[in-house]
Structure 1
Amino acid sequence: MGIPKLSETVKRLWNGWELRMVMLVSLFLQIFLILFGRRRKYTAGFWIGNLVWLAYLSADWVATFSLGILAQKIGDSETNCTNSNRGVIPAFWAPVLLVHLGGPDTITAYSMEDNELWLRHLLVLGSQVAVAFYAFTRSWWSEDPLLFVAIPIFVAGIIKYGERNWVLRSASSKQCRNEMNELSRKFEEFSNPDVFEMTDEPVVGEVGLSDIILEAKFLHEADLCFQMFRVLFADLVLGDSIHLATHIFQQKNAMEAFKLIEVEMGFMYDVLYTKLAKVRSSRVIFRATTFLCLVSALLAFSIGMTENNHAYLTAEITISYLLLYGAIVIEIYSVVLLLFSDWAMLWLTGQRKPLFNSVYRTICSSRFLNNDKRWESRMAQHNLIRFQLSKRKLTSISLKKLLGKLESISLRKLLGKLKSISLKKLLGKSNIQSLEDVGDDLKDLIFEHLLDKRRRYKLMMRSPDPGSNDLHAILSERGDQVIGREKCLGNFGWSVKLPDFNDSLLTWHIATDICYHDDVRKNGGGDAINIHPNCKMSIELSNYMVYLLVDYPFLLPRGIGNERYIQTCSAVNDDATLLERIVSDQHSSWDFGRTISKLQKSRRKVSVLCAGFKLAKSLQTLVRRDGWENQRKWEMISQVWVEMLTYAASHCGWKEHARTLTRGGELLTHVCLLMAHLGLSEQCLTTGF
Structure 2
Amino acid sequence: MAAGGVSHLWREWGIQSLVLLSFALQVLLLVFGGMRRCGLSTSLRVALWLAYLSADSTAIYTLGHLSITSGGSREHQLAAFWAPFLLLHLGGPYNVTAYALEDNRLWLRHLQTLVVQVLGAAYVLYKYMADSGTLLQLASISMFVAGIVKYGERTWALKRANDNKSSSGKAVGPYELLRQDMGDDEILLRAHSQFAICKSGFDDTKVVMRPKPPDEDSPRLFPFYDEDIFKLVEMELSLMYDTLYTKAAVIHTWYGFCIHSISLVGTSAALCLFRLRLSRGDHAYKRVDVAISYILLAGALVLEVISACRAVLSSWTCCFVLRKAEDYSGSTRAAWLEWLHYYVLSSLRKPLKPANRRLWRGTIGQYNMLHLCTRDRTGLGSKLAAKIGQEDWWNKLHFSGTFCGSDSLSMQQLKGLLFKMIRQDGFAKLVGPLSTMTTRGSFILEQKQAFKGVAKWTVLNIELDESIVIWHIATDLFIWESKAGHEVELIEVTRVLSNYMMFLLVAKPAMLPGRERRTVHLTPSRILETIWRVHILGDEDKSVRASPGSWNKCCVLKELFHHEGPNGSTITQAQREKLAETLFANWSYEGAQQLDSYPEVLEGSRDELYTCASNLAKQLLHLGRPDTLELIFSVWVEMMLYAADHCPRDSHARELSNGGEFITILWLLVQHWTYVYKNKIAC
TM more than 0.5: yes
Q: Secondary structure at the match of 1:380?
A: strand
SS at match of 1:106: coil
1:237 to partner: Cα distance? 3.1
| 1:376 aligns with one of 346, 351, 361 | 361
After superposition, residues 344-383 of structure 1 pair within 5 angstroms as 344-347=317-320, 349-350=322-323, 351=325, 353-354=338-339, 356-359=341-344, 361-363=346-348, 365-367=350-352, 372-383=357-368
SS of residue matched to 1:434: strand
Q: Establish whether residue 176 from structure 1 lines up as the match of residue 164 from structure 2.
A: yes
2: distance between equivalents of 1:676 and 1:239? 14
Using the alignment, how far apart are the partners of 1:507 and 1:243 within structure 2?
46
Is 1:335 aligned with 2:331? Answer: no
**Contact 1:105 1:275 (8 Å CA) reproduced:** yes
Letter in 2 for 1:342: S
Contact 1:160 1:290 in 2 (8 A): yes
Kindly tell me: are residues 610 and 52 of structure 1, through their superposed partners in 2, closer, same or farther at Cα, counting changes over 3 Å? same
Map 1:27-46; keep pairs closer than 5 Å: 27-46=23-42
Aligned CA distance change for structure 1 residues 423 and 558 (closer, same or farther; 3 Å): closer
Q: Deviations over 1:55-104 (max 9, x none)?
A: 111111110000011111125x1xxx3xxx32333432011100001111
Q: Partners in 2 of 1:92 and 1:70 — Cα distance?
A: 10
CA distance in 1, matches of 2:169, 2:498: 37
Q: Tell me the distance in 1 between the aligned counterparts of 2:145 and 2:629.
A: 65
In 2: Cα distance, 1:553 partner to 1:296 partner: 52
- 1:92-491 to 2 correspondences below 5 Å: 92-141=81-130, 143=132, 146-172=136-162, 175-177=163-165, 180-181=166-167, 184-187=169-172, 216-238=185-207, 251-282=223-254, 283-308=256-281, 310-347=283-320, 349-350=322-323, 351=325, 353-354=338-339, 356-359=341-344, 361-363=346-348, 365-367=350-352, 372-390=357-375, 392-394=377-379, 398=383, 417-418=387-388, 420=390, 432-437=400-405, 439-452=411-424, 455-456=428-429, 475-482=438-445, 484-485=447-448, 487-491=450-454
CA separation in 2, counterparts of 1:537 and 1:336? 43
CA contact (8 A) 1:348 1:360 kept: no
Return the alpha-carbon distance in structure 2 between the equivalents of residues 424 and 418 of structure 1.
Answer: 11
Counterpart position of 2:618: 617
CA distance in 1, matches of 2:185, 2:526: 54
Task: Provide structure 1 residue ranges, at least 5 long, that are not aligned to the other structure.
Answer: 400-414, 460-468, 524-528
Partner of 2:504: 548
1:569 aligns with 2:525: yes
Letter in 2 for 1:614: N
Q: Is the 8 A contact 1:261 1:673 kept in 2?
A: yes
**Corresponding residue for residue 515 of structure 1:** 478
Moved more, 323-332 or 20-29: 323-332
One-letter amino acid of the counterpart of residue 66, structure 2: L
Deviations 1:601-625 (A, max 9, x none): 9998624211222222233334xxx
Counterpart secondary structure, 1:375: coil
Question: In structure 2, what residue type is equivalent to 1:287?
Answer: H
Map of 1:465 onto structure 2: none
Read off the aligned partner of 2:512 and give its amino acid letter. Answer: L
Question: How far is 1:397 from its partner?
Answer: 7.9
Query: Could you tell me which amino acid in structure 2 is paired with residue 373 of structure 1?
Result: R
1:580-659 matches, cutoff 5 A: 584-585=573-574, 590=582, 592-596=584-588, 606-622=607-623, 626=624, 628-629=625-626, 632-659=627-654
- The residue type equivalent to 1:155 in the other structure is V
Is contact 1:571-1:604 (8 Å) kept? no
Measured after TM superposition, the shift of residue 398 of structure 1 is 4.9
Distance 1:458 1:498 in 2: 22
Distance change >3 Å, CA 364–CA 288, structure 1 → 2: closer
Distance in 1, matches of 2:377 and 2:443, equals 35
Once residues 396 and 6 of structure 1 are traced to their aligned partners in structure 2, the CA distance between those partners, rounded to angstroms, is 40
What stretches of structure 2 of length at least 5 have no aligned partner? 326-336, 539-570, 591-598
Counterpart amino acid of 1:542? S
| Aligned positions of 1:13-24 closer than 5 A | 13-24=9-20
Please tell me whether the aligned partners of residues 291 and 328 of structure 1 are also in contact (alpha carbons under 8 angstroms).
Answer: yes
Q: 1:225 and 1:141, CA in 2 relative to 1: closer, same or farther beyond 3 A?
A: closer
Are 2:468 and 1:500 equivalent residues in the alignment? no
Under a length normalisation based on structure 1, what TM-score does the superposition of the two structures give?
A: 0.79
Alpha carbons of structure 1 residues 281 and 186: separation in structure 2 relative to 1, 3 Å? same
Separation (CA, whole Å) in 2 of partners of 1:535 and 1:268: 34
Q: Is the 8 A contact 2:169 2:208 kept in 1?
A: no
Measured after TM superposition, the shift of residue 26 of structure 1 is 0.5
Match for 2:44: what amino acid?
Answer: I
Three-state SS of the structure 1 residue aligned to 2:454 is: helix
> Is 1:535 matched with 2:527?
no
Which residue type is aligned with residue 238 of structure 2?
Answer: G
Verify the 8 A CA contact 2:498 2:636 in the aligned structure 1.
Answer: yes
Counterpart of 1:298 in structure 2: which amino acid? L
* CA distance in structure 1 between the aligned counterparts of 2:95 and 2:516, rounded to whole angstroms: 38
For normalisation by structure 2, the TM-score amounts to: 0.80
Residue 176 of structure 1 aligns with an amino acid whose one-letter code is N
Contact 1:42 1:376 in 2 (8 A): yes
Query: Residues of 2 paired with 1:296 and 1:563: CA distance?
Result: 61
In 2: Cα distance, 1:566 partner to 1:359 partner:
59
Given that residues 89 and 312 in structure 1 are in contact (C-alpha distance below 8 angstroms), is that contact kept between their aligned partners in structure 2?
yes
- Inter-partner Cα distance in structure 1 for 2:630 and 2:369: 23
Please report the RMSD computed on the Cα atoms of aligned residues, expressed in angstroms: 3.8
CA gap of 1:366–1:99, structure 2 versus 1, over 3 A, is same
Instruction: Report the equivalent of 1:408.
Output: none
With over 3 angstroms needed to count, the CA separation of the structure-2 counterparts of 1:655 and 1:579, relative to structure 1, is farther
Distance 1:9 1:44 in 2: 41
Q: 1:39 to 1:389 in 2, by over 3 A?
A: same
Residues 1:142 and 1:10: Cα distance change in structure 2 (over 3 Å): farther
Instruction: Give the drift of 1:106.
Output: 0.5
Indicate if the aligned counterparts of 1:349 and 1:360 stay in contact, CA closer than 8 A. Answer: no
Separation of aligned partners in 1, 2:509 and 2:211: 29
Q: 2:5 aligned with 1:9, yes or no?
A: yes
SS at match of 1:304: helix
SS in 1 for 2:169: helix
Contact 2:156/2:250 (<8 A) preserved:
no
> 2:672 maps to which residue?
677
The one-letter code of the counterpart of 1:38 is G
Counterpart for residue 466 of structure 1: none
